[in-house]
Amino acid sequence: MSESLLDTVRERTPLVHCVTNLVATTFSANALLAVGASPAMVEDAEEAAELAAVAGALVVNTGTMSRPRAEGMHAAAGAARDAGTPWLLDPVGVGPLSLRTRVASELLGLGPTVVRGNASEILALAGHEGGGRGVDATASVEAAADAADELARTHGTVVAVSGVVDRVTDGATVHRVGGGHPLMGRVTAMGCALGAVTAAFLAVGDDVLAATLAAHAVVGATGAAAGAVARGPGSFVPAWLDELALFDGAGGADGAAAQALVDPA
C-alpha cells in the first residue's frame, strides 16, 4: 500500500499547493521535494484560487493567521472544492485563538478531503474543550477519538490525529500508525510537514483513507529511522529529509517496515 503510492508520487511529482504558516514554509517545501512532489507556497487570494484549481492537492494550514492569509485560505479551498482538487486542512492552534478558530470552522464547511491535526486541535475543531496551548497539544490522541470520529462522520472527511501513535478514521473505520520518534515533538512544523506529505499522497491516490494511512506510515518509518541516527533536534531535520528521499519503494524493506507500523498487533 504505502510503497506503491510513494512510487506513484515519485513518478508523477504532483504539484502540492500550500497555504501554510510562516514557520512551516521551508520545511514543508523540503519535505515535499524529498518525498518526490513539487511544492508551491502561494497565499494571495487571487493567485491561490488559480493554483488550487490546477494543483494535484492543496494544504490549508492556519498556523500563522492573518486576515489576508485567511482570504487566501478561503479562495484556495473554494477553488479546490469547485475543481475537485483534494485538500487537507491542518487547523494549527485552533482552540485558544479566536480568528483561526472561526476561519477553520468556515473552512470545514468547504469540505476538506482530510483534516489533520494534533489532539487538542481536533477536539477544538469539533467544538470540545481541547486544552491546546499555542500550537502544541495537551490532550492525548485517544482523548480526541470521539471528536475525530464525529468530525469525520459529520463532514464526510478522513480525520488524522497525530501524537505518539497516530489515529486515522473515516468515521466508520479506525486505524493506528506507530513508529516516529520523540524528537519529532521537538522540531517545529513536524506536523505541518506530515500534512504536506499527506497531501502529496492524496494527489495520486483515489482512496483517501488508504492514501492518508500510507503517508502517515512513511512519515512514521522515516521518523523512526532519522531518530535512530540523530544527536538531537538539529540533526534530526536533515536526517529525516534524507530518510524520506532515500526510502525505498515497492517491494523494498523500508516499504515493508512502513506497512508493519499500521495497526500493529
Ligand X SMILES: Cc1ncsc1CCOP(=O)(O)O
Binding residues: 41, 116, 162, 189
Q: With contact defined as beta carbons under 8 Å apart, do 141 and 165 qualify?
A: yes
User: Which C-beta is closer to ligand X: that of 39 or that of 255?
Assistant: 39
Residue entry with cell 485567511: 70
- Binding of Mg ion by 191 (CB under 5 A): yes
- Binding of ligand X by 223 (CB under 6 A): no
Contact partners, residue 98, CB within 8 Å, separation at least 6 = none
Take residue 160 and report the three cell numbers written for it: 488524522
Take residue 239 and report the three cell numbers written for it: 536526517
Least separation in angstroms between CB 53 and ligand ADP: 27
Question: From CA 119, how far away is CA 68, in angstroms rounded?
Answer: 27
Q: With contact defined as beta carbons under 8 Å apart, do 177 and 261 qualify?
A: yes
Least separation in angstroms between CB 44 and ligand ADP: 25
Q: Considering CB distances under 5 to 8 angstroms, the limit depending on partner class, which of Mg ion, ligand X, ligand ADP, none binds residue 39?
A: none
Binding mask 180-199 for ligand X (x = CB under 6 A): --------xxxxx-------
Q: Considering CB distances under 5 to 8 angstroms, the limit depending on partner class, which of ligand X, Mg ion, ligand ADP, none binds residue 63?
A: ligand X
Q: Which one-letter amino acid corresponds to residue 167?
A: R
Classify the C-alpha dihedral 134-161-33-61 as positive or negative.
negative
Binding site, annotated residues for substrate = 41, 189
Residue of the chain from 162, 198, 212, 222 that contacts ligand ADP (CB under 6 A): 162
Q: Report the DSSP pairing between strands 166-169 and 174-177.
A: antiparallel
Which positions lie near ligand ADP, rule CB under 6 A?
118, 136-137, 162-164, 166, 180-182, 184-185, 190-191, 194, 219-220, 223
Which positions lie near Mg ion, rule CB under 5 A?
92, 191
